[in-house]
């Protein structure tokens, strides 16, 4: 576990509501339903912390959690992207918020880009990765829900994702395979996040 406390700090709907940049930050990004809440809960060992603190109206906000006592770093839950029915205005607002956050945040040490093992990289994921490349924010790609696919399919997806990852300058060459449900890859990812922060 991350040592000590895990506390919800605040939700920022706009840049002016960000907390003071007093601590290192590690952000989590991914398409809606990728398993982000489940992974954050598995990493922190606190059931439903990501979900419990985030009401439905807050899904377009950056949610900050404080990890450790005294605080070691902040975990930033970014709004899920890629929902088919989102109005253009909402998507544009999301992009502006995330891009501005990524560009201006010196304390942001690393981002995790979560990708569903069943789906692999989608154009919206590539767009996210490109935004991170442009902002020069280092990121790790994390495959989620590995328990949902057969070993052979997982291997294919991993090879495909790794091939694309190598073309992205800010992306770590090492891919993380996780299942929040089965606890697979969680300890390794937790260690990586702690090292990043």
* Helix spans in 86-147 (H): 88-104, 123-135
Dist. CA 109–CA 72, nearest whole Å: 13
Tokens of 79: 């709004």
Residues between 112 and 171 with contacts to ligand GDP, criterion CB under 6 A: 144-145, 147-148
**Which residues, in sequence order, are CB contacts of 169 under 8 Å at separation 6+?**
133
Name the residue nearer to ligand GDP (CB basis): 32 or 71: 32
Q: Confirm or reject binding of residue 185 to ligand GDP (CB under 6 A).
A: no
Name the residue nearer to ligand GDP (CB basis): 82 or 197: 82
Cα 133 to Cα 27, 99, 157, 195: the distances in Å are 15, 11, 22, 21
Tokens of 175: 């891919």
Name the residue nearer to ligand GDP (CB basis): 9 or 54: 54
Residues between 38 and 57 with contacts to ligand GDP, criterion CB under 6 A: 38
Q: How far is the CB of 22 from ligand GDP (least distance, A)?
A: 27
Q: How far is CA 132 from its chain centroid? A: 12
State which of residues 179, 193, 196, 197 lies at the interface with ligand GDP (CB under 6 A).
Answer: 179
Segment contacting ligand GDP (CB under 6 A): 2-10, 89-97, 135-143, 174-182? 174-182
State which of residues 180, 189, 192, 193 lies at the interface with ligand GDP (CB under 6 A).
Answer: 180
Name the residue nearer to ligand GDP (CB basis): 107 or 184: 184
Block residue for tokens 């990708």: 115
Contact 43, 3 (CB under 8 A): no
Name the residue nearer to ligand GDP (CB basis): 80 or 111: 80
User: Over the Cα atoms of the chain, what is R_g?
Assistant: 16
Give the binding site for ligand GDP (CB under 6 A): 30, 32-38, 80, 144-145, 147-148, 179-181
């Amino acid at each position: 576990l991350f040592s000590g406390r895990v506390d919800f700090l605040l939700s920022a709907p706009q840049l002016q509501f960000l907390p003071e940049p007093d601590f290192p930050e590690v952000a989590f990004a991914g398409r809606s339903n990728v398993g982000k809440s489940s992974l954050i809960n598995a990493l922190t060992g606190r059931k439903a912390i990501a979900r419990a603190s985030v009401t439905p109206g807050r899904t377009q906000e950056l949610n900050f959690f404080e990890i450790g006592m005294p605080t070691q770093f902040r975990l930033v839950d970014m709004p899920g992207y890629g929902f088919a029915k989102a109005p253009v205005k909402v998507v544009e607002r999301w992009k502006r918020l995330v891009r501005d956050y990524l560009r201006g945040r010196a304390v942001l040490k690393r981002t995790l880009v979560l990708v569903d093992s069943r789906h692999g990289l989608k154009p919206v994921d590539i767009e996210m990765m490109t935004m991170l490349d442009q902002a020069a924010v280092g990121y790790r790609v994390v495959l989620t829900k590995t328990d949902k696919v057969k070993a052979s399919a997982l291997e294919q997806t991993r090879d495909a994702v790794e091939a694309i990852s190598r073309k992205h300058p800010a992306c770590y060459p090492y891919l993380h395979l996780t299942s929040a449900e089965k606890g697979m890859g969680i300890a390794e990812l937790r260690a990586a996040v702690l090292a990043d922060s």
